[in-house]
A and B are shown apart, each in its own frame.
Chain A
Amino acid sequence: MKRRVVLVDDHDLFLAGVRAELGDRVDVVGQAGTVAAAVALIKELDPDVVLLDVHLPDGSGDAIINQVAPERPGVRFLALSVSDAAEDVIAVIRAGARGYVTKTISGEELAAAIEQVANGDAVFSPRLAGFVLDAFRAGDRVGGDAELDELTPREREVLQLIARGYMYKEIAARLHLSVKTVESHVSNVLRKLQLSTRHELARWATEHRLI
Chain B
Amino acid sequence: MPLPTFAPSSDERVIAGVCAGIAQTLAVDPTLVRLVFALLALAGGAGIILYLALWAYSRKMSVWVAAVLALVAGSLLLGALGLSDRSVLGIALIAAGLALAWRRGGSFRPDAPLSYGGVALAAVGAVVLLSGGGTSSAVLAPGAVAGALLLIAGPLVWRLALDRDAERTARIRSDERSDVAARVHDSVLQTLALIQRHANEPRRVASLARRQERELRGWLYADQPIGDESASLVAALSAAAGDVEDLHGVRVEIASAGDCPVDGPVGAVVLAAREAMTNAAKFAGVEEIDVYVEVTDEEVSVFVRDRGSGFDRSAVPADRRGLVESIEGRLERAGGRAAVVTTPGGGTEVELHVKRSAS
Please give, as numbers and ranges, the residues of chain B lying within 8 Å of A164 by CB-CB distance.
Answer: 255, 290, 292, 303, 305, 349
Please give, as numbers and ranges, the residues of chain B lying within 8 Å of A134 by CB-CB distance.
Answer: 256-258
Complex contact B305–A137 (CB within 8 A): no
Complex contact A126–B253 (CB within 8 A): yes
Complex contact A126–B290 (CB within 8 A): yes
A20 an interface residue at 8 Å Cβ cutoff? no
Which residues 60-100 of B have a CB within 8 angstroms of A? none
Complex contact A165–B222 (CB within 8 A): no
How does the 8 Å CB contact mask read for A91-131 relative to B, with 1 for contact and 0 for none? 00000000000001000000000000000000001110111
Which residues 147-199 of A have a CB within 8 angstroms of B? 160, 163-166
Q: Which of B251, B257, B293 contacts A131 (CB 8 A)?
A: B257
Which residues 278-297 of B have a CB within 8 angstroms of A? 290, 292-294, 296-297
Complex contact B217–A127 (CB within 8 A): no
A13 an interface residue at 8 Å Cβ cutoff? no
| Bound form: Cα–Cα A83–B213 in Å | 11
Q: Which of B222, B254, B296 contacts A137 (CB 8 A)?
A: B296
| Bound form: Cα–Cα A133–B303 in Å | 15
Give the total of B residues in contact with A, Cβ under 8 Å: 22
Please give, as numbers and ranges, the residues of chain B lying within 8 Å of A130 by CB-CB distance.
Answer: 255-257, 292-294
Residue of A nearest to B206 (CB): A104
A138 an interface residue at 8 Å Cβ cutoff? yes
Please give, as numbers and ranges, the residues of chain A lying within 8 Å of B217 by CB-CB distance.
Answer: 82, 84
Majority SS of interface residues in chain B? strand
A1 an interface residue at 8 Å Cβ cutoff? no
A178 vs chain B, min Cβ distance (A): 20
Complex contact B258–A129 (CB within 8 A): no
Please give, as numbers and ranges, the residues of chain B lying within 8 Å of A160 by CB-CB distance.
Answer: 292, 294
Complex contact A138–B255 (CB within 8 A): no
Q: Which of A84, A127, A138, A166 contacts B222 (CB 8 A)?
A: A84
Please give, as numbers and ranges, the residues of chain B lying within 8 Å of A211 by CB-CB distance.
Answer: none
A85 an interface residue at 8 Å Cβ cutoff? yes
Complex contact B257–A126 (CB within 8 A): no
| Bound form: Cα–Cα A126–B255 in Å | 6
| Bound form: Cα–Cα A106–B257 in Å | 24
| Bound form: Cα–Cα A133–B292 in Å | 12
Most buried by B among A83, A125, A130, A160: A130
Please give, as numbers and ranges, the residues of chain B lying within 8 Å of A82 by CB-CB distance.
Answer: 213, 217
Residue of B nearest to A88 (CB): B221
B298 vs chain A, min Cβ distance (A): 12
How does the 8 Å CB contact mask read for B183-223 relative to A, with 1 for contact and 0 for none? 00000000000000000000000000000010001001110
| Bound form: Cα–Cα A88–B303 in Å | 26
Complex contact B221–A85 (CB within 8 A): yes
| Bound form: Cα–Cα A138–B259 in Å | 13
Residue of A nearest to B302 (CB): A164
| Bound form: Cα–Cα A95–B64 in Å | 53
| Bound form: Cα–Cα A84–B254 in Å | 11
Please give, as numbers and ranges, the residues of chain A lying within 8 Å of B290 by CB-CB distance.
Answer: 126, 164-165
Q: Which of A83, A104, A163, A166 contacts B257 (CB 8 A)?
A: A163
A69 vs chain B, min Cβ distance (A): 27
Please give, as numbers and ranges, the residues of chain A lying within 8 Å of B255 by CB-CB distance.
Answer: 125-127, 129-130, 163-165
Most buried by B among A82, A84, A125, A129: A84
Complex contact B221–A127 (CB within 8 A): no
Q: Which of A85, A104, A133, A166 contacts B294 (CB 8 A)?
A: A133
How does the 8 Å CB contact mask read for B235-276 relative to A, with 1 for contact and 0 for none? 000000000000000010111111000000000000000000
| Bound form: Cα–Cα A166–B303 in Å | 11
Residue of A nearest to B297 (CB): A138
| Bound form: Cα–Cα A84–B256 in Å | 11
Q: Which of B221, B292, B349 contacts A84 (CB 8 A)?
A: B221
List 10 additional contacts besides A84-B221, A126-B255; criterion CB under 8 Å: A84-B222, A125-B255, A130-B293, A130-B294, A131-B257, A134-B257, A137-B257, A164-B305, A165-B305, A165-B307
A sample of 25 inter-chain contacts (CB < 8 A) reads A82-B213, A82-B217, A83-B221, A84-B220, A84-B222, A85-B221, A125-B255, A126-B253, A126-B290, A127-B254, A127-B255, A130-B255, A130-B256, A133-B294, A134-B256, A134-B257, A134-B258, A137-B257, A137-B258, A163-B292, A164-B255, A164-B292, A164-B303, A164-B349, A166-B305
